[in-house]
Amino acid sequence: MYKFEKLARSIHQMIEDGIWKAHDKLPSLREQSELSGYSLMTVLNAYQELEAQGWLYAKDKSGYYIAERADLEINSNKEILPAQEKIQINSVVFNYLKDTQAHDIVPLGSAFPNPELLFNNKFMQLLSQHAKRKNSYLNHPNMPPGNLELRQIIAGRYQLQGISCHSDDIVITSGALDALNLSLQALTQPGDFILLQETVFYGAWQAAERLGLNVVTLPDDPESGFDLDAFEKALKQYPIKVCWLMLNAQNPIGYTVSAIIKKKIAQLLFQYQVHLIEDDVYQELNFGKEKPVSVKHFDQHNMVLHCGSFSKTLGMGARVGWVFAGSYSNAIQHVQLMSTLTVSPLLQNALVDFVAHHHYEKHLRSLRRHLDQNKKRFYQELKGRLPEDCQIHYFPTGYFLWVELPESMDSQQLYIDLLEQKISIAPSLLFRPKHTAQNFIRLNCSFEWTDELATTLDQIIYQIKKNKKA
Protein backbone atom coordinates (compact mmCIF):
# COMPACT_ATOMS: atom_id res chain seq x y z
CA MET A 1 0.00 0.00 0.00
CA TYR A 2 1.30 3.48 -0.88
CA LYS A 3 1.87 6.04 1.86
CA PHE A 4 -0.92 8.28 0.61
CA GLU A 5 -3.32 5.29 0.73
CA LYS A 6 -2.32 4.61 4.34
CA LEU A 7 -2.99 8.21 5.27
CA ALA A 8 -6.26 8.27 3.31
CA ARG A 9 -7.33 5.13 5.11
CA SER A 10 -6.62 6.56 8.56
CA ILE A 11 -8.53 9.78 7.77
CA HIS A 12 -11.38 7.67 6.41
CA GLN A 13 -11.36 5.69 9.66
CA MET A 14 -11.67 8.93 11.65
CA ILE A 15 -14.68 9.89 9.53
CA GLU A 16 -16.24 6.48 10.18
CA ASP A 17 -15.57 6.81 13.90
CA GLY A 18 -17.45 10.10 13.90
CA ILE A 19 -14.37 12.18 14.77
CA TRP A 20 -14.85 14.22 11.62
CA LYS A 21 -18.40 15.34 10.73
CA ALA A 22 -19.88 16.72 7.50
CA HIS A 23 -18.48 20.19 6.65
CA ASP A 24 -15.69 20.02 9.26
CA LYS A 25 -12.53 21.56 7.88
CA LEU A 26 -9.53 19.26 7.69
CA PRO A 27 -6.07 20.48 8.74
CA SER A 28 -4.31 22.32 5.92
CA LEU A 29 -1.82 20.34 3.85
CA ARG A 30 1.06 21.80 5.84
CA GLU A 31 -0.58 21.15 9.25
CA GLN A 32 -1.44 17.60 8.24
CA SER A 33 2.07 17.04 7.00
CA GLU A 34 3.47 18.18 10.37
CA LEU A 35 0.91 16.15 12.31
CA SER A 36 1.37 12.93 10.39
CA GLY A 37 5.00 13.17 9.40
CA TYR A 38 4.13 12.55 5.73
CA SER A 39 5.39 14.83 2.93
CA LEU A 40 3.16 17.58 1.53
CA MET A 41 2.78 15.60 -1.69
CA THR A 42 1.63 12.48 0.18
CA VAL A 43 -0.93 14.53 2.11
CA LEU A 44 -2.17 16.16 -1.10
CA ASN A 45 -2.50 12.75 -2.78
CA ALA A 46 -4.39 11.37 0.22
CA TYR A 47 -6.83 14.31 0.25
CA GLN A 48 -7.34 14.03 -3.50
CA GLU A 49 -7.99 10.29 -3.21
CA LEU A 50 -10.65 10.89 -0.53
CA GLU A 51 -12.13 13.67 -2.64
CA ALA A 52 -12.34 11.31 -5.64
CA GLN A 53 -14.15 8.79 -3.42
CA GLY A 54 -16.62 11.47 -2.37
CA TRP A 55 -15.52 11.68 1.29
CA LEU A 56 -14.08 15.20 1.03
CA TYR A 57 -14.73 18.31 -0.98
CA ALA A 58 -12.34 21.13 -1.70
CA LYS A 59 -13.14 24.86 -1.46
CA ASP A 60 -11.06 27.25 -3.51
CA LYS A 61 -8.18 28.63 -1.44
CA SER A 62 -9.86 27.53 1.78
CA GLY A 63 -8.90 23.85 2.00
CA TYR A 64 -10.56 20.46 2.31
CA TYR A 65 -13.85 19.70 4.10
CA ILE A 66 -15.76 16.54 5.03
CA ALA A 67 -18.54 15.81 2.51
CA GLU A 68 -22.24 15.31 3.34
CA ARG A 69 -22.24 11.70 2.21
CA ALA A 70 -19.94 10.83 5.06
CA ASP A 71 -22.74 11.53 7.56
CA LEU A 72 -25.31 9.85 5.37
CA GLU A 73 -23.33 6.67 5.16
CA ILE A 74 -22.10 6.56 8.70
CA ASN A 75 -25.68 6.96 9.93
CA SER A 76 -26.81 4.16 7.67
CA ASN A 77 -25.63 0.69 8.56
CA LYS A 78 -22.24 0.78 6.92
CA GLU A 79 -21.79 -2.94 7.41
CA ILE A 80 -24.77 -3.64 5.26
CA LEU A 81 -24.29 -1.00 2.62
CA PRO A 82 -20.66 -0.17 2.11
CA ALA A 83 -19.66 3.19 0.74
CA GLN A 84 -20.38 4.16 -2.81
CA GLU A 85 -17.33 5.55 -4.37
CA LYS A 86 -16.51 7.62 -7.37
CA ILE A 87 -15.89 4.88 -9.86
CA GLN A 88 -12.66 4.96 -11.77
CA ILE A 89 -12.29 1.52 -13.23
CA ASN A 90 -12.26 2.03 -16.99
CA SER A 91 -8.52 2.52 -17.29
CA VAL A 92 -7.82 -0.41 -14.92
CA VAL A 93 -9.91 -2.68 -17.16
CA PHE A 94 -8.52 -1.18 -20.36
CA ASN A 95 -4.93 -1.77 -19.27
CA TYR A 96 -5.76 -5.26 -18.07
CA LEU A 97 -7.41 -6.25 -21.36
CA LYS A 98 -4.52 -4.79 -23.38
CA ASP A 99 -1.82 -6.39 -21.23
CA THR A 100 -3.35 -9.85 -21.37
CA GLN A 101 -4.10 -9.98 -25.09
CA ALA A 102 -0.74 -11.25 -26.38
CA HIS A 103 -1.04 -14.72 -27.90
CA ASP A 104 1.85 -16.16 -25.86
CA ILE A 105 0.16 -15.49 -22.51
CA VAL A 106 -1.49 -18.41 -20.66
CA PRO A 107 -5.03 -17.01 -20.40
CA LEU A 108 -6.09 -18.06 -16.89
CA GLY A 109 -7.42 -14.52 -16.44
CA SER A 110 -9.61 -14.71 -19.54
CA ALA A 111 -13.35 -14.18 -19.26
CA PHE A 112 -14.04 -16.55 -22.17
CA PRO A 113 -14.21 -20.33 -21.91
CA ASN A 114 -11.52 -22.34 -23.67
CA PRO A 115 -11.98 -21.43 -27.38
CA GLU A 116 -11.36 -25.07 -28.37
CA LEU A 117 -14.59 -26.01 -26.61
CA LEU A 118 -16.59 -23.20 -28.16
CA PHE A 119 -15.54 -23.78 -31.73
CA ASN A 120 -18.27 -25.69 -33.56
CA ASN A 121 -17.78 -27.05 -37.08
CA LYS A 122 -21.47 -27.14 -37.91
CA PHE A 123 -21.85 -23.49 -36.98
CA MET A 124 -18.89 -22.61 -39.21
CA GLN A 125 -20.43 -24.59 -42.07
CA LEU A 126 -23.71 -22.70 -41.71
CA LEU A 127 -21.84 -19.41 -41.60
CA SER A 128 -19.99 -20.19 -44.80
CA GLN A 129 -23.21 -21.31 -46.52
CA HIS A 130 -24.86 -18.05 -45.58
CA ALA A 131 -21.79 -16.06 -46.62
CA LYS A 132 -22.40 -17.24 -50.18
CA ARG A 133 -25.96 -15.86 -50.16
CA LYS A 134 -26.20 -12.16 -50.88
CA ASN A 135 -29.46 -11.91 -49.04
CA SER A 136 -28.07 -13.40 -45.85
CA TYR A 137 -25.49 -10.66 -45.73
CA LEU A 138 -27.36 -7.60 -46.92
CA ASN A 139 -30.95 -7.99 -45.86
CA HIS A 140 -32.60 -5.18 -44.02
CA PRO A 141 -34.92 -7.02 -41.63
CA ASN A 142 -31.93 -7.49 -39.32
CA MET A 143 -32.10 -3.88 -38.17
CA PRO A 144 -33.32 -3.31 -34.57
CA PRO A 145 -34.98 -5.15 -32.94
CA GLY A 146 -33.15 -7.81 -34.98
CA ASN A 147 -33.86 -10.86 -37.13
CA LEU A 148 -37.47 -11.95 -36.55
CA GLU A 149 -36.78 -15.68 -36.77
CA LEU A 150 -33.96 -15.41 -34.26
CA ARG A 151 -36.21 -13.46 -31.90
CA GLN A 152 -38.90 -16.12 -32.30
CA ILE A 153 -36.40 -18.84 -31.49
CA ILE A 154 -35.17 -17.00 -28.39
CA ALA A 155 -38.76 -16.32 -27.29
CA GLY A 156 -39.45 -20.05 -27.77
CA ARG A 157 -36.53 -20.93 -25.50
CA TYR A 158 -37.99 -18.71 -22.75
CA GLN A 159 -41.37 -20.39 -23.21
CA LEU A 160 -39.75 -23.79 -22.76
CA GLN A 161 -38.61 -22.58 -19.34
CA GLY A 162 -42.18 -21.59 -18.50
CA ILE A 163 -41.68 -17.86 -19.10
CA SER A 164 -44.26 -16.17 -21.25
CA CYS A 165 -42.42 -14.35 -24.04
CA HIS A 166 -43.20 -13.01 -27.52
CA SER A 167 -40.69 -12.23 -30.28
CA ASP A 168 -41.58 -8.53 -29.87
CA ASP A 169 -40.21 -8.66 -26.32
CA ILE A 170 -36.73 -9.45 -27.60
CA VAL A 171 -34.10 -7.03 -28.93
CA ILE A 172 -31.03 -8.61 -30.56
CA THR A 173 -27.80 -6.93 -29.51
CA SER A 174 -24.10 -7.13 -30.14
CA GLY A 175 -23.37 -9.56 -27.30
CA ALA A 176 -24.61 -9.37 -23.73
CA LEU A 177 -22.45 -6.38 -22.87
CA ASP A 178 -24.34 -4.35 -25.46
CA ALA A 179 -27.65 -5.66 -24.07
CA LEU A 180 -26.69 -4.69 -20.51
CA ASN A 181 -25.33 -1.29 -21.48
CA LEU A 182 -28.29 -0.38 -23.69
CA SER A 183 -30.71 -1.43 -20.95
CA LEU A 184 -28.94 0.64 -18.33
CA GLN A 185 -28.78 3.65 -20.62
CA ALA A 186 -32.47 3.35 -21.49
CA LEU A 187 -33.51 3.18 -17.82
CA THR A 188 -31.29 5.78 -16.15
CA GLN A 189 -30.19 9.42 -16.22
CA PRO A 190 -26.78 10.66 -15.00
CA GLY A 191 -26.83 11.00 -11.21
CA ASP A 192 -29.36 8.20 -10.66
CA PHE A 193 -28.66 5.53 -8.03
CA ILE A 194 -28.12 1.96 -9.09
CA LEU A 195 -27.39 -1.13 -7.01
CA LEU A 196 -24.59 -3.58 -7.79
CA GLN A 197 -23.24 -6.62 -6.01
CA GLU A 198 -20.02 -5.63 -4.28
CA THR A 199 -17.99 -8.10 -6.31
CA VAL A 200 -19.23 -8.20 -9.85
CA PHE A 201 -18.27 -8.34 -13.55
CA TYR A 202 -16.28 -5.18 -14.30
CA GLY A 203 -18.64 -4.30 -17.19
CA ALA A 204 -21.15 -3.16 -14.56
CA TRP A 205 -18.65 -0.76 -12.96
CA GLN A 206 -17.58 0.51 -16.36
CA ALA A 207 -21.16 1.21 -17.42
CA ALA A 208 -21.87 3.07 -14.16
CA GLU A 209 -18.74 5.17 -14.60
CA ARG A 210 -19.54 6.00 -18.23
CA LEU A 211 -23.15 6.96 -17.48
CA GLY A 212 -22.28 9.03 -14.38
CA LEU A 213 -24.39 6.92 -11.99
CA ASN A 214 -24.16 6.61 -8.20
CA VAL A 215 -23.53 3.08 -7.07
CA VAL A 216 -24.81 1.47 -3.89
CA THR A 217 -23.17 -1.89 -3.27
CA LEU A 218 -24.66 -5.01 -1.79
CA PRO A 219 -22.16 -6.94 0.35
CA ASP A 220 -21.20 -10.40 -0.85
CA ASP A 221 -22.86 -13.27 0.92
CA PRO A 222 -20.68 -16.34 0.36
CA GLU A 223 -23.31 -18.67 1.88
CA SER A 224 -26.44 -18.03 -0.15
CA GLY A 225 -24.89 -15.68 -2.71
CA PHE A 226 -27.43 -13.01 -1.84
CA ASP A 227 -28.35 -11.15 1.33
CA LEU A 228 -32.07 -10.46 1.02
CA ASP A 229 -32.22 -8.31 4.18
CA ALA A 230 -29.42 -6.08 2.97
CA PHE A 231 -31.13 -5.89 -0.41
CA GLU A 232 -34.43 -4.75 1.07
CA LYS A 233 -32.62 -2.29 3.31
CA ALA A 234 -30.87 -0.80 0.29
CA LEU A 235 -34.17 -0.45 -1.59
CA LYS A 236 -35.69 1.29 1.44
CA GLN A 237 -32.77 3.55 2.15
CA TYR A 238 -31.65 4.76 -1.25
CA PRO A 239 -33.62 6.08 -4.23
CA ILE A 240 -32.43 3.16 -6.34
CA LYS A 241 -33.72 3.18 -9.87
CA VAL A 242 -32.14 0.06 -11.27
CA CYS A 243 -30.33 -3.02 -9.95
CA TRP A 244 -27.81 -4.83 -12.13
CA LEU A 245 -27.38 -8.34 -10.76
CA MET A 246 -25.84 -11.60 -11.81
CA LEU A 247 -27.26 -14.59 -9.94
CA ASN A 248 -26.38 -17.65 -12.03
CA ALA A 249 -22.73 -18.82 -12.08
CA GLN A 250 -21.90 -15.35 -10.86
CA ASN A 251 -18.81 -13.78 -12.38
CA PRO A 252 -16.28 -13.71 -10.74
CA ILE A 253 -17.24 -15.71 -7.60
CA GLY A 254 -19.21 -18.51 -9.25
CA TYR A 255 -22.26 -19.03 -6.99
CA THR A 256 -25.82 -19.60 -8.18
CA VAL A 257 -28.57 -18.11 -6.04
CA SER A 258 -31.54 -20.34 -5.13
CA ALA A 259 -34.94 -20.09 -6.84
CA ILE A 260 -36.56 -19.13 -3.51
CA ILE A 261 -34.33 -16.09 -3.16
CA LYS A 262 -34.89 -15.13 -6.79
CA LYS A 263 -38.64 -15.25 -6.25
CA LYS A 264 -38.32 -12.96 -3.26
CA ILE A 265 -36.11 -10.58 -5.25
CA ALA A 266 -38.85 -10.36 -7.91
CA GLN A 267 -41.42 -9.53 -5.19
CA LEU A 268 -39.22 -6.83 -3.67
CA LEU A 269 -38.55 -5.26 -7.07
CA PHE A 270 -42.27 -4.91 -7.63
CA GLN A 271 -42.91 -3.68 -4.08
CA TYR A 272 -40.30 -0.93 -4.38
CA GLN A 273 -40.85 -0.33 -8.12
CA VAL A 274 -37.22 -0.86 -8.98
CA HIS A 275 -36.06 -2.41 -12.25
CA LEU A 276 -33.59 -5.23 -12.54
CA ILE A 277 -31.13 -5.71 -15.36
CA GLU A 278 -30.34 -9.40 -15.01
CA ASP A 279 -27.02 -10.51 -16.42
CA ASP A 280 -27.50 -14.17 -17.25
CA VAL A 281 -24.71 -14.87 -19.77
CA TYR A 282 -23.74 -18.15 -18.11
CA GLN A 283 -27.22 -19.55 -17.67
CA GLU A 284 -26.53 -22.31 -20.20
CA LEU A 285 -23.31 -23.40 -18.47
CA ASN A 286 -24.91 -25.48 -15.73
CA PHE A 287 -23.58 -28.94 -15.01
CA GLY A 288 -26.70 -30.40 -13.43
CA LYS A 289 -29.79 -31.62 -15.27
CA GLU A 290 -31.76 -28.40 -14.98
CA LYS A 291 -30.88 -24.91 -16.09
CA PRO A 292 -31.05 -22.59 -13.08
CA VAL A 293 -34.05 -20.28 -13.20
CA SER A 294 -33.72 -16.53 -13.45
CA VAL A 295 -35.48 -13.71 -11.56
CA LYS A 296 -37.23 -13.13 -14.89
CA HIS A 297 -38.99 -16.44 -14.28
CA PHE A 298 -40.85 -14.86 -11.33
CA ASP A 299 -41.37 -11.43 -12.88
CA GLN A 300 -45.09 -10.78 -13.32
CA HIS A 301 -44.84 -7.03 -13.90
CA ASN A 302 -42.08 -6.43 -16.44
CA MET A 303 -39.63 -5.15 -13.83
CA VAL A 304 -36.81 -7.38 -15.13
CA LEU A 305 -34.80 -6.95 -18.31
CA HIS A 306 -33.07 -10.26 -18.86
CA CYS A 307 -29.82 -10.32 -20.88
CA GLY A 308 -28.17 -13.31 -22.53
CA SER A 309 -25.65 -14.09 -25.23
CA PHE A 310 -24.18 -16.66 -27.61
CA SER A 311 -20.65 -15.37 -27.13
CA LYS A 312 -19.94 -17.52 -24.06
CA THR A 313 -21.17 -20.68 -25.72
CA LEU A 314 -20.02 -20.23 -29.35
CA GLY A 315 -17.02 -17.96 -28.96
CA MET A 316 -16.19 -14.29 -29.07
CA GLY A 317 -16.74 -14.27 -32.86
CA ALA A 318 -20.43 -14.94 -32.21
CA ARG A 319 -21.09 -11.47 -30.89
CA VAL A 320 -24.83 -11.86 -30.72
CA GLY A 321 -26.79 -11.32 -27.55
CA TRP A 322 -30.26 -10.20 -26.62
CA VAL A 323 -32.33 -8.49 -24.03
CA PHE A 324 -35.80 -9.66 -23.06
CA ALA A 325 -36.97 -6.08 -22.84
CA GLY A 326 -40.76 -6.43 -22.92
CA SER A 327 -42.35 -3.01 -22.99
CA TYR A 328 -38.89 -1.36 -22.93
CA SER A 329 -38.09 -2.74 -26.38
CA ASN A 330 -38.70 0.62 -28.08
CA ALA A 331 -36.66 2.59 -25.55
CA ILE A 332 -33.76 0.20 -26.05
CA GLN A 333 -34.00 0.34 -29.82
CA HIS A 334 -33.86 4.14 -29.60
CA VAL A 335 -30.51 3.96 -27.81
CA GLN A 336 -29.32 1.19 -30.12
CA LEU A 337 -30.07 3.20 -33.26
CA MET A 338 -27.79 5.92 -31.88
CA SER A 339 -24.96 3.62 -30.89
CA THR A 340 -24.29 0.02 -31.89
CA LEU A 341 -27.02 0.14 -34.57
CA THR A 342 -27.23 -3.46 -35.70
CA VAL A 343 -25.78 -6.93 -35.38
CA SER A 344 -24.18 -8.80 -38.28
CA PRO A 345 -27.03 -10.24 -40.44
CA LEU A 346 -24.72 -13.09 -41.40
CA LEU A 347 -24.30 -14.18 -37.79
CA GLN A 348 -27.99 -13.82 -37.05
CA ASN A 349 -28.97 -15.92 -40.09
CA ALA A 350 -26.45 -18.66 -39.28
CA LEU A 351 -27.66 -18.73 -35.66
CA VAL A 352 -31.26 -19.18 -36.79
CA ASP A 353 -30.31 -22.37 -38.64
CA PHE A 354 -27.95 -23.56 -35.94
CA VAL A 355 -30.40 -23.22 -33.06
CA ALA A 356 -33.58 -24.16 -34.95
CA HIS A 357 -32.07 -27.48 -36.09
CA HIS A 358 -31.01 -28.53 -32.59
CA HIS A 359 -27.28 -28.24 -33.28
CA TYR A 360 -27.07 -25.74 -30.45
CA GLU A 361 -28.47 -28.10 -27.82
CA LYS A 362 -26.03 -30.82 -28.91
CA HIS A 363 -23.16 -28.33 -28.74
CA LEU A 364 -24.25 -27.19 -25.26
CA ARG A 365 -24.37 -30.75 -23.93
CA SER A 366 -20.81 -31.38 -25.02
CA LEU A 367 -19.62 -27.97 -23.79
CA ARG A 368 -21.14 -28.50 -20.34
CA ARG A 369 -19.62 -31.95 -20.02
CA HIS A 370 -16.12 -30.73 -20.90
CA LEU A 371 -16.35 -27.66 -18.68
CA ASP A 372 -17.48 -29.79 -15.77
CA GLN A 373 -14.57 -32.25 -16.26
CA ASN A 374 -11.96 -29.52 -16.72
CA LYS A 375 -13.17 -27.53 -13.75
CA LYS A 376 -13.14 -30.55 -11.41
CA ARG A 377 -9.63 -31.54 -12.47
CA PHE A 378 -8.29 -28.00 -12.19
CA TYR A 379 -9.88 -27.65 -8.75
CA GLN A 380 -8.31 -30.89 -7.48
CA GLU A 381 -4.89 -29.94 -8.81
CA LEU A 382 -5.10 -26.44 -7.38
CA LYS A 383 -6.34 -27.67 -4.01
CA GLY A 384 -3.45 -30.10 -3.78
CA ARG A 385 -0.92 -27.32 -4.35
CA LEU A 386 -2.30 -24.23 -2.61
CA PRO A 387 -0.94 -23.24 0.81
CA GLU A 388 -3.37 -23.94 3.64
CA ASP A 389 -4.14 -20.31 4.33
CA CYS A 390 -5.65 -19.91 0.85
CA GLN A 391 -9.25 -20.84 0.15
CA ILE A 392 -10.89 -21.89 -3.10
CA HIS A 393 -14.55 -20.98 -3.58
CA TYR A 394 -15.84 -23.87 -5.66
CA PHE A 395 -19.33 -23.94 -7.21
CA PRO A 396 -20.58 -26.56 -9.66
CA THR A 397 -21.44 -24.12 -12.47
CA GLY A 398 -19.51 -21.94 -14.87
CA TYR A 399 -15.78 -22.10 -15.46
CA PHE A 400 -14.21 -19.88 -12.83
CA LEU A 401 -12.59 -20.49 -9.49
CA TRP A 402 -12.46 -17.60 -7.03
CA VAL A 403 -9.41 -17.97 -4.85
CA GLU A 404 -8.96 -16.18 -1.55
CA LEU A 405 -5.32 -15.50 -0.71
CA PRO A 406 -4.07 -14.58 2.77
CA GLU A 407 -5.41 -11.17 3.85
CA SER A 408 -1.98 -9.58 3.77
CA MET A 409 -1.56 -10.33 0.06
CA ASP A 410 -2.24 -7.92 -2.76
CA SER A 411 -3.58 -9.78 -5.79
CA GLN A 412 -2.70 -6.86 -8.09
CA GLN A 413 0.98 -7.42 -7.28
CA LEU A 414 0.60 -11.14 -7.92
CA TYR A 415 -1.01 -10.35 -11.27
CA ILE A 416 1.90 -8.07 -12.23
CA ASP A 417 4.50 -10.65 -11.19
CA LEU A 418 2.79 -13.45 -13.11
CA LEU A 419 2.29 -11.34 -16.20
CA GLU A 420 6.06 -11.02 -16.41
CA GLN A 421 6.10 -14.81 -16.64
CA LYS A 422 3.45 -14.68 -19.38
CA ILE A 423 0.63 -15.93 -17.21
CA SER A 424 -2.59 -13.98 -16.80
CA ILE A 425 -4.88 -14.16 -13.79
CA ALA A 426 -7.75 -11.80 -12.98
CA PRO A 427 -7.06 -9.78 -9.80
CA SER A 428 -9.95 -8.68 -7.59
CA LEU A 429 -9.39 -4.99 -8.36
CA LEU A 430 -11.22 -5.65 -11.65
CA PHE A 431 -14.37 -6.65 -9.82
CA ARG A 432 -14.65 -4.88 -6.47
CA PRO A 433 -14.21 -1.31 -5.20
CA LYS A 434 -10.71 -0.13 -4.48
CA HIS A 435 -11.32 0.35 -0.75
CA THR A 436 -12.36 -3.30 -0.19
CA ALA A 437 -10.03 -6.27 0.46
CA GLN A 438 -7.97 -7.11 -2.62
CA ASN A 439 -6.64 -10.55 -1.77
CA PHE A 440 -8.68 -12.51 -4.33
CA ILE A 441 -8.03 -13.82 -7.82
CA ARG A 442 -10.27 -15.35 -10.46
CA LEU A 443 -8.90 -18.31 -12.42
CA ASN A 444 -10.35 -19.62 -15.65
CA CYS A 445 -10.45 -23.41 -15.29
CA SER A 446 -12.02 -24.34 -18.63
CA PHE A 447 -8.77 -25.67 -20.10
CA GLU A 448 -7.92 -29.31 -20.47
CA TRP A 449 -5.36 -30.58 -17.97
CA THR A 450 -1.91 -30.85 -19.62
CA ASP A 451 1.72 -30.87 -18.49
CA GLU A 452 1.96 -27.22 -19.55
CA LEU A 453 -0.99 -26.33 -17.37
CA ALA A 454 0.58 -28.20 -14.46
CA THR A 455 3.78 -26.16 -14.92
CA THR A 456 1.77 -22.94 -15.06
CA LEU A 457 -0.03 -23.83 -11.86
CA ASP A 458 3.30 -24.60 -10.18
CA GLN A 459 4.57 -21.17 -11.23
CA ILE A 460 1.47 -19.51 -9.78
CA ILE A 461 1.85 -21.35 -6.48
CA TYR A 462 5.55 -20.52 -6.32
CA GLN A 463 4.75 -16.83 -6.85
CA ILE A 464 1.99 -16.88 -4.22
CA LYS A 465 4.38 -18.35 -1.66
CA LYS A 466 7.08 -15.86 -2.60
CA ASN A 467 4.75 -12.85 -2.35
CA LYS A 468 3.36 -14.12 0.95
CA LYS A 469 6.82 -13.95 2.46
CA ALA A 470 7.64 -10.52 1.00
Ligand X SMILES: Cc1ncc(COP(=O)(O)O)c(C=O)c1O
Contact between 176 and ligand X per CB under 6 A: yes
Contact between 382 and ligand X per CB under 6 A: no
Contact between 201 and ligand X per CB under 6 A: yes
Contact between 281 and ligand X per CB under 6 A: yes
Contact between 309 and ligand X per CB under 6 A: yes
Give whichever of 201 and 354 is closer to ligand X, judged by the CB atom.
201
* Rounded least distance, CB 279 to ligand X, Å: 5
Give whichever of 82 and 203 is closer to ligand X, judged by the CB atom.
203
Contact between 110 and ligand X per CB under 6 A: no
Contact between 175 and ligand X per CB under 6 A: yes
Contact between 177 and ligand X per CB under 6 A: yes
Contact between 246 and ligand X per CB under 6 A: yes
Contact between 279 and ligand X per CB under 6 A: yes
Give whichever of 46 and 367 is closer to ligand X, judged by the CB atom.
367
Contact between 113 and ligand X per CB under 6 A: no
* Rounded least distance, CB 203 to ligand X, Å: 5
Options 83-91, 173-181, 349-357, 445-453: segment touching ligand X (CB under 6 A): 173-181
Size of the site for ligand X (CB under 6 A): 13
d(CA 92, CA 78): 26
Options 58-66, 174-182, 326-334, 378-386: segment touching ligand X (CB under 6 A): 174-182
d(CA 311, CA 113): 10
Contact between 311 and ligand X per CB under 6 A: yes
Options 172-180, 269-277, 432-440, 461-469: segment touching ligand X (CB under 6 A): 172-180
Contact between 336 and ligand X per CB under 6 A: no
Options 63-71, 118-126, 169-177, 382-390: segment touching ligand X (CB under 6 A): 169-177
Give whichever of 322 and 415 is closer to ligand X, judged by the CB atom.
322
* Rounded least distance, CB 140 to ligand X, Å: 24
- Closest residue to ligand X, judged by C-beta, is 175
Phi-psi category of residue 185: left, alpha or beta, with phi > 0 → left and psi -120 to 50 → alpha: alpha
Nearest to 434 by CA among 85, 48, 6, 129: 85
Contact between 254 and ligand X per CB under 6 A: no
* Rounded least distance, CB 165 to ligand X, Å: 19
Contact between 245 and ligand X per CB under 6 A: no
Residue of the chain from 111, 247, 261, 276 that contacts ligand X (CB under 6 A): 111
Contact between 249 and ligand X per CB under 6 A: no
Q: Give the residues lining the site for ligand X (CB under 6 A).
A: 111, 175-177, 201, 203, 246, 251, 279, 281, 309, 311, 321
